[in-house]
Structure 1
Amino acid sequence: MKQRVLFTASTGSHITNFHRPYLRAFQERGWEVHVACGGTPPPLPEADRVFLLPFEKRMPAPANFRAQGMLRRLMAENGYDLVSTHTSLAAFFTRRAAAGVHPRPPVVNVAHGYLFDSGTPFLKRQVLLAAERLTAPQTDLLLTMNAYDYETARRCRLGRRVEAIPGIGVDFSRLDGAAPPGPRGTYGFEKTDFVLLYAAEFSQRKNQALLIRALADLPERVKLLLPGQGALLETCRALAASLGVGHRVVFPGQVAGMAPLYALADAAVTASRSEGLPFNVMEAMYMGLPVIASEVKGHTDLLRDGETGLLYPYGGEAAFRAAVERLLAEPGLCAALGAAARRAVLPFSLEQVLPQVMEQYLSLAPRPVLPAEAVH
């Protein structure tokens, strides 16, 4: 009988964007692969079965407890040999579901970035930590992606076993040999413009508003390219208009292939409050762009200030402007930072990371019983 693995996430897009290589790797090893997620993912040939769950972003929503019940039934009925859970919401309810299953399958929680750090307000941090402590007994293996999360997880015993991984790997081959960037005029940019790129969901945590406010006090030739969707997109549009920089900020929406935008940009920027190990920064590094990033976990694991990028204190609008002005004044620094960043990010490639993560997964999976062994 085939071994079975279940991957869970709060959204189907998370699975399709980040985990298809792992689904495929399990299939290639002869496993039956199941996925349970919120939303409606596109076809997943790497999954043998896909189950849709009624996840909602608000943690105490009744739908999430219904999803927990569905997950418990799935685990009881399918006898999984391994469960891999992703995203904070799904990870909590998947592990709560596993607590009621006997025998309980081994559970791996891949922490893509805890939603707290040393700067999080005390009460919020304690609530989020309490949720992780509650589910720690059902976390047989906890995989963390940055130094802060790893140290916190070990100190607070958030899993039976805690290991560090270099993310889940970025498929840099998608960026190699991509179509060249279109004319800058496509986005209303001039040849002399200095284009800053930030590809991210429009949310409070991603903090695009800081970049828009900073733009108002930067030279006119500095432009901002903000691909993505999200709840705060229209708020950011309105902010740009109210500050008189609407003509300098381009909102192209969701972009399927980012390579032409990386090639068009002069630098990549981010204002995020916290990260796990962000793909947008790693892709920009691979494309040889200088990166200006908020000095928060996830970013500090990838960038060394002044060597492979420029870091500024989170929320430091003046410090961000100073970093941009430094790149404008020192063209040679752009090239030096970009070249160093590309070298530094190569160990985070999917080719190098996938075998490491699969080794962690399989270390927890029970060894299949071969027919000859079954006889004896």
Structure 2
Amino acid sequence: MADGQKKILYIASSFGHLAAFHQPYMKWFAEQGCAVHAAAGGDRRDLQGVVQYISLPFEKSMYSQRNLAAAWRLRQLVQRERYDLISLHTSLAAFFARLALLPPCRNRPTVMNTSHGYLFDRDSARLKRMLLLGAERLTAPVTDWLLVMNQQDREIANRYRLGKNIVFTRGMGVDLARFQPATREMRQMARDSMRVQPDELVLVYAAEFSERKNQKMLIRAMQDLPDSVILLLPGEGALLEPCKMLAKELGVSGRVRFPGFVRNVEDYYAAADLCVSASRIEGLPFNVMEAMACGLPVVLSDIKGHQDLVSGGQNGILYPYDDIPAFVKAVERLLDEQTRQLMAVAAYRAAQPYGLETVYPTLTGIYQTALHGHA
């Protein structure tokens, strides 16, 4: 390492997360002359700007002993490498990484935690909220910078002083060059490739199959929607097969499509008429912002993160979480093509402030300030 060169450590639960959301910023650090290291679980991914990779045995369960082992390895790594800045991502990895820095010492690196969404909110069960909020309060003394992405998380962070410098951001930035409204020809090609008929209304929900994402509710709702409504569910995860079985049991498997993991998710937005979500909790959902940037109106569960993206029923509709009749009513309202077209224009406009070109200079400015120890 060159004399005086700054060293940056990125930490997340998986290398896949870093690859999906943070490569422009890791590259930026490298362009500033920093040595960038990445520590995460899962399969290694090549990352722009990264010169060293560290594999960590993270598991999704907060109570796994493997996570404590990962924290111990991180503590040794930080003591050995003497990083200037640690950039934390994903709730589990961020907690155990900060736990590894307790008790705080005088010469520790600057720690920036980017909260992609606390896994609790004002509606969470009391015990769950107490445990997860308690974890954040425990690690607040070593959280020099806290970046939050929605208003409810901002309120929580400020109320409980979960970081020394709390900054509200617009996420990590959506690639608006990739996600934009499809031309008529692109839309027709996408619908033809997915065997969608001209008179069918297509809903899309691109997400990991999990309890939190709640695809089962959407599948159940398909029983009450017209036969002309099609549901696209790109993604993979632990509940993919149970969701397929549920669709078959309910007799809607012909109208619910499971394409699995896809790299061309923009083609699914091109084929769709509406973006939907049944999620229980979010930070600032990329899938929704991408769909809005493609000009799709949205029908979303009324939760934090979603509330930040939908305003006054102009670009979409919020419905009470897990309320099938309310969801069905919202979709039926948007069967009207003129209503969809008006909301599509509003959705496209609402997505523009979340574009990478807008967010990138803001975040790199924050990183520059933190890197040089200013508040």
Report the TM-score, using the length of structure 2 for normalisation: 0.95
- Structure 2 equivalent of residue 117 of structure 1: 121
- Structure 1 equivalent of residue 170 of structure 2: 166
Give the Å deviation of 1:66: 1.1
SS of aligned partner of 2:230:
strand
* Change beyond 3 A, Cα 1:183–1:34: closer
SS of aligned partner of 1:170:
coil
Give the Å deviation of 1:31: 0.8
Q: Distance in 1 between matches of 2:34 and 2:373?
A: 12
Answer yes or no: is the 8 Å Cα contact 1:285–1:291 preserved in 2: yes
- Structure 2 equivalent of residue 132 of structure 1: 136
- Structure 1 equivalent of residue 57 of structure 2: 54
Q: Distance in 2 between matches of 1:98 and 1:269?
A: 40
- Structure 2 equivalent of residue 197 of structure 1: 204
- Structure 1 equivalent of residue 76 of structure 2: 73
Question: Structure 2 stretches of 5 or more lacking a match?
Answer: none
- Structure 2 equivalent of residue 7 of structure 1: 10
Answer yes or no: is the 8 Å Cα contact 1:85–1:107 preserved in 2: yes
Equivalences for residues 241-260 of structure 1 within 5 A: 241-260=248-267
Q: Distance in 2 between matches of 1:213 and 1:198?
A: 14
- Structure 1 equivalent of residue 150 of structure 2: 146
- Structure 2 equivalent of residue 357 of structure 1: 363
1:164 counterpart letter in structure 2: F
Worse-matched range after superposition: 183-192 or 252-261: 183-192
Q: Percent identity?
A: 49
How far does the alpha carbon of each residue in 1:242-299 deviate from its partner, in whole angstroms, 9 at most, with x for none? 1110100000000102111111111110111111111111011111111111110000
How far does the alpha carbon of each residue in 1:199-236 deviate from its partner, in whole angstroms, 9 at most, with x for none? 00001111111111111011100010000001111111
Give the Å deviation of 1:159: 1.0
Q: Distance in 2 between matches of 1:212 and 1:80?
A: 47
Give the Å deviation of 1:183: 5.1
How far does the alpha carbon of each residue in 1:107-134 deviate from its partner, in whole angstroms, 9 at most, with x for none? 0000000000111000110000000010
Answer yes or no: is the 8 Å Cα contact 1:288–1:341 preserved in 2: yes
Equivalences for residues 213-362 of structure 1 within 5 A: 213-328=220-335, 330-362=336-368
SS of aligned partner of 2:227:
coil
Q: How many residues align?
A: 367
Give the Å deviation of 1:318: 0.4
Give the Å deviation of 1:163: 1.2
Answer yes or no: is the 8 Å Cα contact 1:292–1:310 preserved in 2: yes
* Change beyond 3 A, Cα 1:244–1:177: closer
SS of aligned partner of 1:269:
strand
Worse-matched range after superposition: 309-318 or 352-361: 352-361
2:260 counterpart letter in structure 1: G
Alignment root-mean-square deviation, CA: 1.6
SS of aligned partner of 2:372:
coil
How far does the alpha carbon of each residue in 1:326-363 deviate from its partner, in whole angstroms, 9 at most, with x for none? 111x2111011010111111111111111111222222
How far does the alpha carbon of each residue in 1:70-116 deviate from its partner, in whole angstroms, 9 at most, with x for none? 11111111111100001111001111112256511010000000000
- Structure 2 equivalent of residue 374 of structure 1: none
SS of aligned partner of 2:50:
coil
Answer yes or no: is the 8 Å Cα contact 1:305–1:311 preserved in 2: no
How far does the alpha carbon of each residue in 1:154-176 deviate from its partner, in whole angstroms, 9 at most, with x for none? 00111122111111111121235
Q: Distance in 2 between matches of 1:175 and 1:166?
A: 17
Give the Å deviation of 1:69: 1.2
- Structure 2 equivalent of residue 42 of structure 1: 45
Answer yes or no: is the 8 Å Cα contact 2:190–2:270 preserved in 1: no
Answer yes or no: is the 8 Å Cα contact 2:181–2:293 preserved in 1: no
Question: Structure 1 stretches of 5 or more lacking a match?
Answer: 369-376
* Change beyond 3 A, Cα 1:214–1:51: same
Q: Distance in 1 between matches of 2:127 and 2:151?
A: 23
Q: Distance in 2 between matches of 1:206 and 1:237?
A: 15
SS of aligned partner of 1:114:
coil
Q: Distance in 2 between matches of 1:45 and 1:161?
A: 28
Q: Distance in 1 between matches of 2:77 and 2:53?
A: 11
Aligned pair partner of 2:213 in 203, 206, 212: 206
Aligned pair partner of 2:108 in 82, 99, 104: 104
Report the TM-score, using the length of structure 1 for normalisation: 0.94
Q: Distance in 2 between matches of 1:347 and 1:37?
A: 30
Answer yes or no: is the 8 Å Cα contact 1:16–1:41 preserved in 2: no
